[in-house]
Amino acid sequence: MATPAKTLTNSPEFVRERLQGRRFDAGGFLFRLLLLGILLITLLLLAVLVIEVVSGGWSVLSTRLGDFLTGKLVTSSERAGISQGLRGTFFIGVFVVLIAFPLGVGAAIYLEEYAPHSRLSRIIDVNIRNLAGVPSVVYGLLGFAIFVKALRNLTGPESNGATVISAGLTLAILVLPIVIITSAEALRAVPDSLREAGFAVGATRWEVVKSHVLPYAGPGILTGTVLALARALGEAAPLILVGATTGFLSEGAGYGLSSLQERFTAMPIVIYTWGGRPQAGFQNVTSAAIVVLLVVVLLANTVAILLRNKYEKRR
Amino acid sequence: MPPEARLKSPRGVSDVKPPRLEIQRSPSDVPLTEREEVPVFEVSDLSVYYGAFRAIRNINITVCERQITSFIGPSGCGKTTFLRCFNRMNDLVEIARVEGKLMYHGVDLYHPEVNAVEVRRRVGMVFQKPNPFPKSIYDNITFGPKIAGIKGDMDEIVERSLRRAALWDEVKDRLKASAMGLSGGQQQRLCIARALAVDPEVILMDEPCSALDPMATGRIEDLMEEIKSEYTIIIVTHNMQQAARVSDMCAFFTAEVNETSDTRTGILVEFDKTEKMFSNPSDERTENYVTGRFG
């Protein structure tokens, strides 16, 4: 412990002199300005992006929104629509929700609640974190090798495996590590006193996890998984590798199960293809498609926030 | 307990529920003085290790039915570690290991075939910091009976448990409200009610009043006195007056420093009737502690 210098006196004059007078904390003030500046730059970049995209796509969105959403990929930018892209993105989302969420949350529960704290479990933990950082193109190659080539007969023999099934499975695997990490962190945030309370009244581990740990960690798990979903919906690179296309799409492709095995496209691919065209008209439809994709992701996030608030209130 | 020792590993925690083994209790209508002292726990030569570190060593003690037994001693002498042996709560700490014998009605609690889940139904626990489930008051009470498969009127169990924990009058109009909205003292009484709801035989209390004000502490002490006729209670406390006030038997622990490794191991110094421990202890260390000269 530091001993106060004996030269300090506590005479009333001295104390008054020390306590009075405002001192300007220049360092603190500058640091605060710096942080504010960084925040503003980030917001500014985001604002420029949104304004640019919305103003570019406004001519399309304001005049023919219905046609745009239901129209097909055609060579004329006047009549081009994104229905096939939305369909592909919808199915990709369904695959991620149905495959990555249960597998990821399950793996996280095992790692956090059941697995012994051994060297092996630490190695697994580190590797999952590394997997989350692997570039998406690599997952695209994996998807191509497994789902498009090896499992062609299951994913779509008539389309050479380049189907929305392959794409959905690939993206589900892509976000799986993210789902595991965020869920594990949500579980780690559950206080041990809650687990102890459950065990102390004679609950088994499963009863403690089911009745107390999962409800407590639920909102956190939900937030993480929806962020993972948003990531999957925006990925383009793996889709290119598993054979997403914008040409030769089936005419009558609907939302039926049989359509899963046909050639497919998705929103990021539509944006990528249109964005590469030189004609001015295509720049507008590209911006409009970006706006639609942003709205879809925002909607997913909104649903997640609403669900989280609903469950958090019950605490 | 080392902070990094998290509640983990299912080692020793079987998820299989065996049939309840029935243990005869002596009739409660016989007054305590005329009843023979029936041992509930007989501990012999018990040591607990966290990895290579020995937290407590060679403890011998007998806990009798329908008595309040208190554990006192300075911080870090292993009272809590020892208490957690009685309902196998130490199982949840992966690196913890128990040596020696801890007999419960003649059954070795650490025998491989003993189901820790069943042990915890019979030996309830109240923790230092009130830890109600973040659910309604009602659900806090019913969770235990429900998982124990107790059939019966849950409303009645809730009322009976809350009445016994002297909380009923304060919460009867808001049973569906969240338990997190209660005051600290109310939360702790709710935790006691929750422990009573599964009808255990023993209740372990780990410094149950350390987070409470004197009023709330007084209520909990009165409560212990009341339920003592039906339950065997073991309480860890830092408050010597509390030990003197509520307990029948008292054990004094202290820590011995291991010169070579600079670690501290808890040992039992003296175990006797509370009256004797506070008026005429046999060991000098006990006397120094209870008179406030040490610790």
Collect all residues with Cβ–Cβ distance below 8 Å to B170 and sequence separation of at least 6: B186
Tokens matching residue B114: 């003993």
pLDDT band at A4 (very low <50, low <70, confident <90, very high): low
Looking at chain A, how many residues does it have? 315
Task: With cut-offs at 50, 70 and 90, classify the pLDDT of residue B11.
Answer: very low
Mean pLDDT value of segment B213-238: 91
With contacts defined as CB-CB under 8 Å, which chain B residues touch A201? 120-121, 124, 143-144, 147, 194-195, 197-198
Q: What is the pLDDT of residue A152?
A: 84
On the question of pLDDT at B8 being above 80, the answer is: no
Task: Tell if the CB–CB gap between A197 and B132 is shorter than 8 Å.
Answer: yes
CATH of domain A73-312: 1.10.3720.10
SS (H, E, C) chain B: CCCCCCECCCCCCCCCCCCCCCCCCCCCCCCHHHCCCCEEEEEEEEEEEECCEEEEEEEEEEEECCCEEEEECCCCCCHHHHHCCCCCHHHHECCEEEEEEEEECCEECCCCCCCHHHHHHHEEEECCCCCCCCCEHHHHHHHHHHHCCCCCCHHHHHHHHHHHCCCHHHHHHHCCCEHHHCCHHHHHHHHHHHHHHCCCCEEEEECCCCCCCHHHHHHHHHHHHHHCCCCEEEEECCCHHHHHHHCCEEEEEEEEEECCCCEEEEEEEEEEEHHHHHHCCCCHHHHHHHCCCCC
- Beta-carbon separation of B124 and A198 below 8 A: no
Average pLDDT over residues B206-229: 89
Q: Is the pLDDT of residue B125 over 50?
A: yes
pLDDT of B213: 87
Mean pLDDT rounded to a whole number for chain A: 88
Q: Domain residue spans in chain B?
A: 32-133+200-290
Residue that wins the pLDDT comparison between A160 and A125: A125
Residue B147 to residue A195, Cβ atoms within 8 A = no
* Tens of pLDDT, residues B14-65: 444 444 444 545 545 545 454 568 899 999 999 999 988 999 999 999 999 9
Cβ contacts of B77 within 8 Å, gap of 6 or more: B56, B253, B254, B255, B264, B266, B267
Output the pLDDT for position B29. Answer: 52
Q: What is the pLDDT of residues A60-95, one digit of tens each?
A: 888 888 888 888 888 888 888 888 889 899 999 999
Domain boundaries, chain A: 73-312
Taking CA atoms, what residue in A is nearest to B10? A114
Q: Find the range with the poorest average confidence among A175-184, A239-248, B227-236.
A: A239-248
More confident residue, B16 or B137: B137
Mean pLDDT, range A138-155, rounded to an integer: 90
Tell me which chain A residues have a C-beta less than 8 angstroms from the C-beta of B92: 195-196, 199
Nearest CA in chain A to B188: A197
- Could you tell me how many CB contacts below 8 A there are between chain A and chain B? 89
Cross-chain residue pair B120–A200, CB shorter than 8 Å: yes
For B86-106, the pLDDT digits (tens) are 999 998 888 999 999 999 999
pLDDT at B192: 94
Q: In the predicted model, what is the mean pLDDT of residues A139-162? A: 87
CA-nearest residue to B11 within chain A is A116
Are the beta carbons of B197 and A201 separated by less than 8 Å? yes
User: Residue A20: its pLDDT value, please?
Assistant: 82
Residue A147 has pLDDT above 60, yes or no: yes
Q: What local confidence, expressed as pLDDT, does residue A196 receive?
A: 95
Chain B interface, mutation test: which of A201, A204, A205, A314, most B Cβ atoms within 10 Å? Answer: A201
Q: Is the pLDDT of residue A103 over 80?
A: yes
The pLDDT confidence band at residue B278, using thresholds 50, 70 and 90, is very high
Q: What is the pLDDT of residue A293?
A: 94
A119 touches chain B (CB under 8 A): no
Name the pLDDT band for B130 (thresholds 50, 70, 90).
very high
Is B191's CB within 8 Å of A197's CB? Answer: yes
The pLDDT assigned to A256 comes to 67
Band of residue B295 on the pLDDT scale cut at 50, 70, 90: low
Average pLDDT for chain B? 86
- The domain covering B32-133+200-290 belongs, at the CATH homologous superfamily level, to P-loop containing nucleotide triphosphate hydrolases (3.40.50.300)
* Chain B contact present for A110, CB below 8 A: no
**Chain B neighbors of A199, CB-CB under 8 A:** 7, 89, 92, 120
Query: Measured between CB atoms, which of A192, A197, A205 is closest to B133?
Result: A197
The average pLDDT across A280-307 equals 90
Which pLDDT tens digit goes with each residue over B228-276? Answer: 999 999 999 988 889 999 999 999 999 988 888 888 899 999 999 999 9
Q: Which residues, numbered 162 to 191 in chain A, qualify as contacts with chain B under a Cβ-Cβ cut-off of 8 Å? A: 191
Instruction: Pick the more confident residue, B142 or A1.
Output: B142
Question: Which residues 34-93 on chain B approach chain A with CB closer than 8 angstroms?
Answer: 87, 89, 92
Min Cα distance B125 → chain A (Å) is: 6
The shortest CB-CB distance from B147 to any of A116, A207, A216 is to A207
pLDDT (tens digit per residue) in B173-196: 999 999 999 999 999 999 999 999
| CB-nearest partner of A202 from B129, B135, B147 | B147
